[in-house]
Structure 1
Amino acid sequence: MHSHSTQDVFVNLGGQDDNLGDSVLRAAYFEAARGEGRSFHVLLEGRSSDYVTGLPLDPADTIYTTRAAWVRASTEATRPVHLFEAGEINPRSAVYPAESRSAPLRHAIDSGGAVIVAGLGLKTPAQSSPSQFDQVLRDAAVVSWRDAGSRDAAGFGGVAPDWAFSYGPHTTEWSNPDSRPLLAVTLRFDRPWPDDSWLEAVRALAAQTSTRVVTVAQVARDAPRAVRVAEALGGEYLIAPSTRHSDLDAHVRSVFGQSLAIISDRAHGLIIGATEGAYPIGSAADPQKISRLLAAAGLSDLVGSYDQLAEFGTALESKLPGLAPAIDSARSEVADLGARIQTAMRAVA
């Protein structure tokens, strides 16, 4: 282990292996914790090389492929800092996190280190309650949820927009709406197929805005649906050059940077699109998750069920001027969260 002058920081950067949103939000969280005099211990259990390309790893970072080795290293460290994994959680046990995960966190706090909990979101807030969460999370130096519904269900901590809002070009660098020729569409593979009225609403919006429908898949499992949507709409499926997350990120950002809007039921499709200047239109069989995450950034006005898409298309033009201010504000909030993390980590160095 490192000398006492080096701060040992432990973080699990694992996520769904084919999901670009998972690597993007974790990459931003990871970068927010970087700083001089820190040694990072990164758990990447079972992650493919494709996934890892989406993470800003440094040659000096220590990589662990088993949780046991990672936990053992954390118990041997002096005043370790644990960055509790960001992203969606779906607590199923009576107490979250389970003892095997909470024990290293408690050790970090008890030994003079710290726990950072930043960017968590509940899959279904209505199924959670404050009593379900272990005290160790409440004792964290920073606690921030990525949507108000999750925070309210847990009963503790603050709220800041998802980490993925921090990426993308400055809003002053975006192309103007009148020079964006595309209307991007991306849908989840595991949700009901939209009906003909939804498809007609997409076509109508494309005609109204003089844009061309294209589809993408920032989650590999969504690719067959992207092909089907393109065929149904007379659009074009734009395939990424590879499944490497670095290539996929560049690909979808290039498409979204040319898109007036993005229609999706994927939260991070909408978020990444919004950070590239494409107005997020959330359309889903069950929109509760995407509504919560976009509401944290003040962008939930055009989020709803499939049958609302036609009215959203009508309202799009009036909403376009509000996108840049919303992204600027979201990025400011995320930056403030990063500053709080830096302060908390310096306090135990």
Structure 2
Amino acid sequence: MTRTLYVPLTGQADNVGDVVLRRRLVQAVAPLGRLVVLVERADDDYVAGLRLPPGSVVHTSFLPWVRAATVGAAGRGPAALVLNAGEIASSRSQGRRAVLTLPAVLAGRLRGTPTVRAGLGARDRIAPWGLAHQAVVSAATLNVWRDHESRRLYHHGWVAPDWAFDDADSRPADGPRPVLALGFRGDRPAPSPAALGHVRDWAGHRGLRPVVVSQVASDVERNERVASALGCEHVGDRHVDLAERERAARDVYRSAAVVASNRVHALIIGFTEGASPAGLVPTPDVKIARTLDAAGLPPSVLDAPASGTAEVRGFLDGALGHGAGLASVRERAAGWVREMEDAVRASVVDGRATGGRRSTGAVTGVAA
């Protein structure tokens, strides 16, 4: 009998990074059975970017999907819950979904249906809604977090890099890398004129050509202003579809020596394409440093508004200097993601929790 896997794949519909990490999750579980996925009101290009296997059942509303998942988890046929990757927060909306998902997880626990969570980050753990996430985590068969702080907050499982660190679409090129790629979130404070001036001066000193990349459609207005301030090219028009936005971003990253951004998946995808990541964070960082650290990267974040010319130049020089040694880091991080994939598959097929090869080590976390 064919196994059914219930997999929520909701994310920000205009966000290349959200598609890339969930596409890798799909790749991990697609060989194991028929997928019943939740995408909600995502555009067609987001769904296409996930590359769902033929025969997948696609739900566009949460309640019908969670009802199907609860019935499936409690049923007699082989099934598994493979919960979403990405990030959880102690918000009302996310907490309520955790409460509504918990009956499926508990029914599965009684019937021997595994629940797997892998590639997940936690922004926080605050009552009351953080307790709903904790209940799901505690009842799950397998939890693999994308950073150590998330694992510390929720106590269960082990740590491996974000799914996007092992990306089949990445093709890092040899040869010259004359570009400094930049890109900033539209929903965070803009980099200060002084910080942008430091970056422009450093790029000129190092002979690099700045190019600003909008990896998310909602960042376009912010990044057009940054490009105007720097007097450089902007890539990623507001009206292109997600596949073209991803292609254009990758083309820039393959020519970049450094990618500087406060979007974590701009840094990750740039890194997989051969660029050295530099997190320029205009606000306190709650995600980037810990996500990159779990992949074995050297310290890669600078508080840009609090830094002067010397600090910015030293930070970017450090990122540039790391570039030559990052090939082995990429290979190792991708290998850890494949270990996570193996653990997910073992849990889905056998209903058992496993630890990664280095799940008790200093990089990939502490075993449950």
Task: Verify the 8 A CA contact 1:279 1:320 in the aligned structure 2.
Answer: yes
Task: Verify the 8 A CA contact 1:187 1:226 in the aligned structure 2.
Answer: yes
Provide the rounded CA distance (Å) in 2 between the counterparts of 1:24 and 1:317. Answer: 25
Match in the other structure for 1:19: 15
Gaps of 5+ in 2: 353-368
User: 64, 67, 77: which is aligned to 1:69?
Assistant: 64
Kindly indicate whether residue 341 of structure 2 is the aligned counterpart of residue 345 of structure 1: no
CA displacement at 1:175 relative to structure 2: 2.1
Report 1:159-238 matches (<5 A): 159-168=159-168, 173-176=172-175, 179-238=176-235
Amino acid at match of 2:315: F
Partner-residue secondary structure (3-state), 2:49: coil
Kindly indicate whether residue 115 of structure 2 is the aligned counterpart of residue 115 of structure 1: yes
TM-score by length of 2: 0.86
Distance 1:162 1:188, change over 3 A: same
Provide the rounded CA distance (Å) in 2 between the counterparts of 1:147 and 1:294. Answer: 8
Amino acid at match of 1:66: S
Provide the rounded CA distance (Å) in 2 between the counterparts of 1:229 and 1:223. Answer: 10
Aligned length: 341
Amino acid at match of 1:122: A
User: 288, 297, 302: which is aligned to 1:304?
Assistant: 302
Amino acid at match of 2:30: R
Task: Verify the 8 A CA contact 1:126 1:153 in the aligned structure 2.
Answer: no
CA deviation vs aligned residue, 1:157-209 (integer Å, no higher than 9, x gap): 101111111115677x5223xx1121111011122222233112211221233
CA displacement at 1:254 relative to structure 2: 1.0
TM-score by length of 1: 0.90
Deviates more, 1:145-154 or 1:135-144: 135-144
User: 286, 289, 304: which is aligned to 1:288?
Assistant: 286
Partner-residue secondary structure (3-state), 1:18: coil
CA displacement at 1:343 relative to structure 2: 1.1
CA deviation vs aligned residue, 1:19-38 (integer Å, no higher than 9, x gap): 111111111111111215x1
Match in the other structure for 2:41: 46
Amino acid at match of 1:148: H
Deviates more, 1:323-332 or 1:192-201: 192-201
Kindly indicate whether residue 24 of structure 2 is the aligned counterpart of residue 28 of structure 1: yes
CA displacement at 1:126 relative to structure 2: 8.3
Deviates more, 1:145-154 or 1:299-308: 299-308
CA deviation vs aligned residue, 1:114-172 (integer Å, no higher than 9, x gap): 1001011112468899866444422322211111111111111101111111115677x
Distance 1:272 1:140, change over 3 A: same
Task: Verify the 8 A CA contact 1:128 1:154 in the aligned structure 2.
Answer: no
Kindly indicate whether residue 103 of structure 2 is the aligned counterpart of residue 92 of structure 1: no
Task: Verify the 8 A CA contact 2:181 2:253 in the aligned structure 1.
Answer: yes
CA deviation vs aligned residue, 1:265-303 (integer Å, no higher than 9, x gap): 000010010000111000112223111111111224231
Amino acid at match of 2:58: I
Provide the rounded CA distance (Å) in 2 between the counterparts of 1:185 and 1:136. Answer: 37
Distance 1:271 1:125, change over 3 A: farther
Gaps of 5+ in 1: none
CA displacement at 1:113 relative to structure 2: 1.0
